[in-house]
Homo-oligomer: A and B are copies of this chain.
Amino acid sequence: MVTPVRRANNRNDRLLDEAARLFAAQGYRETTMRDIAAAAGMLPGSIYYHHPSKTELLVAVYEKGVEGLCQRFDAAVAGVADPWERLGKALDVHLETVLDQSDYARVMVRVLPEHLPGSAQELARLRDGYEDRIAGLIDALPLNGGIDPKMLRFLILGAANWAQTWYRPGMTSPAEVARQFLLIVQRPMEGSVG
């Protein structure tokens, strides 16, 4: 039994996949519509049937990236109560997704909203869908006196995002990076060790 209805969608899915791969690997500006079209097996003009502009194509990729990351995040922390354990799961998901599994997520890390003046707000709004989850998670941590949760969040997200610039498959597993990062920032709960 054939599924002819699906065919159309597959072409756009392919388009998004290739766009994500190229944006992640080369950057947004460095990737041309020709590059994407060629990779997706269509002509440059054909992209415009699916997406009205290069910017909107990026937004579509961003959207899928955020959605995927959020789903993985939600699934990973679901049912975990301990705040530090939740952070551990989140770091794990973030690093595995960004370093290993999703071009869409890689785009989110590589292409920053403020680098596309025209769509900065839209991209930032999408991004916040994920970053707010991280913020909530960190605000729930019992922190030693003097540590600003916002700064802890900036440090963790910064370190995790920056990993994309130095990580190469084969050196360590993303999970091991996550474990190390957690080890470094994890402080004993206030009063428990002294």
Binding site for B on A (CB under 8 A): 27, 29-30, 112, 114-115, 146-148, 151-152, 154-163, 165-166, 177, 180-181, 183-185, 187
Contacts and interface: CB of A to CB of B under 8 A. Distances in A.
Contacts of A148: 180
9 contacts: A112-B165, A148-B180, A151-B184, A154-B159, A154-B162, A155-B184, A155-B185, A156-B159, A162-B162
B159 A163 contact: no
The complex is assembled from copies of this chain, and their number is: 4
A151 B27 contact: no
A39 to B, nearest CB: 18
Contacts of A27: 29, 115
A146 B183 contact: yes
Nearest to A144: B183
A180 B146 CA distance: 8
7 closest A-B pairs by beta carbon, nearest first, are A158-B162, A151-B180, A158-B159, A155-B159, A29-B29, A159-B159, A162-B162
- Chain B CB count within 10 A is highest, among A29, A148, A181, A184, for A184
Contact of A155 (B112, B154, B181): B181
A56 B152 CA distance: 38
A61 to B, nearest CB: 18
B158 A163 contact: yes
B185 A184 contact: yes
Nearest to A156: B159
Contacts of A157: 162
